[in-house]
Amino acid sequence: MSLLRVEGLTVALPPGGDRPHAVEDVSFHLDAGEILCVVGESGSGKSISANAVMGLLPKGLPVRQGSIAFEGRELLSLAPEAMRKLRGERLAMIFQEPMTALNPLMRVGDQIAEVLRVHGSGTDAARRVPELLAAVNLPDPAVIARSHPFRLSGGQRQRVMIAMALALEPALLIADEPTTALDVTTQMQILRLIREIQSRRGMGVLFITHDFGVVAEIADRVAVMQRGRIVEQGPAAEVLNRPQHSYTQALIAAVPHGAAQARAAITTAPVLELRGVEKTYRRGGFFGARAVVRAVHDADISLRQGETLGLVGESGSGKSTLARCVVRLVEPERGTIAYHGTDLRPLSRAGWKPYRRRIQMVFQDPYASLNPRRTVGDTIAEGPVTHGTPRAQALERARELLRLVQLDPGAMDRYPHEFSGGQRQRIGIARALAMEPELLIADEPVSALDVSVQAQVLALLAEIRARLGLTMLFITHDLRVAAQICDRVAVMQRGAIVEQGPTAEVFARPQHAYTRQLLDSIPGRGWTPPEL
């Protein structure tokens, strides 16, 4: 008998959605001691399936038909009290966002103890809590137990969440994108932790993810979801290396393959040179200690004409701050930012204006980087108009640019909310290109996008770069993406560049320990996506 058996599950969407059912006729099973990965892009219904198992569906999403049997008991017909008892004790869940999943006002030890207490085993909480914290490899469990969540890093919080989920030794653990919000090195640690605990306790794990690298790292079996249906399922090795369904094949083909090709060295004149740029944030000081964060220091880079330099690093490494220094969204205290030999740093706002045409930026979040109250056409045209191009001409050019970024010119009069994330990112790229820049700074332009959309946007960027001869500073936390698009990479850690060199060189022979650690943490590095 399987631990969990879902048969023909169909969950309705509220009327007026893009499809009648959130998930439709979904069947899968999970045995004890097994990790089943449910993979799919956003909106594919993978989280809905998990929430249905936990009985956590919102009222607007009723289960239309199907059955969910857990240890032989039907969950869908269970009374709420019985379900509550089961949740936490036999079924546990960890969520995507560790920053918001913990109560900020409660010490983490108390939160774990609460889980025990609710299920009637609060008496030995004092003994169990440090044990659990130790089990998830947190250093110094006694101190952590007395900390409030804000004292902990994202990875530590996710470990606390896992400790809470494990408190009552559940038979089934549902992990909904538990590592998506984490840095790669932390992600790898959490994946190893889940794997280790799972094998030690023989739990069944339902692991939801959008990342095939993570699947390759952790899954025993895989179920691929598309628009509410499972299109393919089978053993991990089978699905990853011999995908049958066209959608799975498309998804796997879109995974950045991480292999860096050797490229011809570029020896053109330098476009941008950063020397001794420093940015330090200070805060506090009125009461208590003054916090000083050296966001950027020792980060000299030089970019040659037509070259793409990747700036890679984890969150907080200062890579975005460095990029923002170049376009003066952040003003560094020290150093020179030489653009064709002219130092941009001391320039006034007016003095900067001519350079705005030459240096443009593509932003990370396609949902936040477009003014929601302005039409797409106006958004793209406003840069040139600001610099004195007649409006009619700028709009005509915007129409051409939409075609260049593979959008319908009919999009001109529509507002950003009518577009998907990938389309919006194309609009953001068109806005930057409207200025006909020489240097394009791309700040994590694909990290908020689904993998297939990510592949399209990367291909678009590569094509535009080749066609227009752009020089590009490409910021990313994803080394696979960097390997695919960059000529050279610079690895940042705590505000400093610890290693830089040609991409193939750095990937093949990393010199710095941190670079090696980053490369080791790439999920699914042991798996080479098949040529399809």
Residues that bind other proteins (CB under 8 A): 327-329, 349, 352-353, 356-357, 359-361, 363-365, 368-374, 382-383, 386-387, 428, 431, 435
- The dihedrals phi and psi of 530, each to the nearest 5 degrees, come to -65, 150
* Smaller CB separation from other proteins, 12 or 237: 12
First to last CA, the chain: 37
Alpha helices, H only, 244-283: 246-254
331 Cβ partners below 8 Å, 6+ apart? 279, 325, 345
CB 432 to other proteins: min, Å: 8
- For other proteins, which is the closer residue by CB, 112 or 370? 370
Q: How far is the CB of 416 from other proteins (least distance, A)?
A: 9
Q: Which residues pair with 242 in a beta bridge?
A: none
Distances in Å between the Cα of 526 and the Cα atoms of 139, 217, 259, 531 are 29, 8, 12, 15
Q: Which lies closer to other proteins via its Cβ, residue 278 or residue 382? A: 382
* Minimum separation from the CB atom of position 380 to other proteins (A): 10
Q: Which is nearer to other proteins, 283 or 373 (CB)?
A: 373
State the minimum distance, in angstroms, from the CB of residue 77 to other proteins: 26
CB of 497 to other proteins, least distance (A): 23
The four Cα atoms 351, 353, 359, 363 give a dihedral, to 10 degrees, of 120
Residue placing its CB nearer to other proteins in the complex, 223 or 429: 429
C-alpha closest to that of 48 among 255, 217, 230: 230
| CB-nearer residue toward other proteins: 192 or 353 | 353
Distance in Å, CB of 257 to other proteins, minimum: 29
| Residue where the block lists tokens 């094998």 | 199
Q: How far is CA 438 from CA 268, 405, 461, 530, in A?
A: 14, 17, 14, 36
Helix (H, G, I), strand (E, B) or coil at 314: coil
- Pick from 189, 209, 136: nearest CA to 166: 136
State the nearest-atom distance from the C-beta of 13 to other proteins, in Å: 16
**Least distance (Å) from other proteins to the CB of residue 261?**
31
Radius of gyration in angstroms for the set of CA atoms belonging to the chain, rounded to a whole number: 25
Q: Give the residue with the Cβ less far from other proteins, 143 or 329.
A: 329
- Quick one: tokens of 4? 């969990």
β-pair partners for 4: 30, 70
Nearer to other proteins, 194 or 435 (CB): 435
Q: In what order do the strands lie in the sheet with 496-502?
A: 359-362, 439-443, 471-476, 308-312, 488-493, 496-502
The residue (of 251 and 402) whose beta carbon lies closer to other proteins is 402
Distance CA 478, CA 518 (A): 10
Q: How far is the CB of 212 from other proteins (least distance, A)?
A: 28
* Cα distance between residue 270 and residue 155, in whole Å: 39
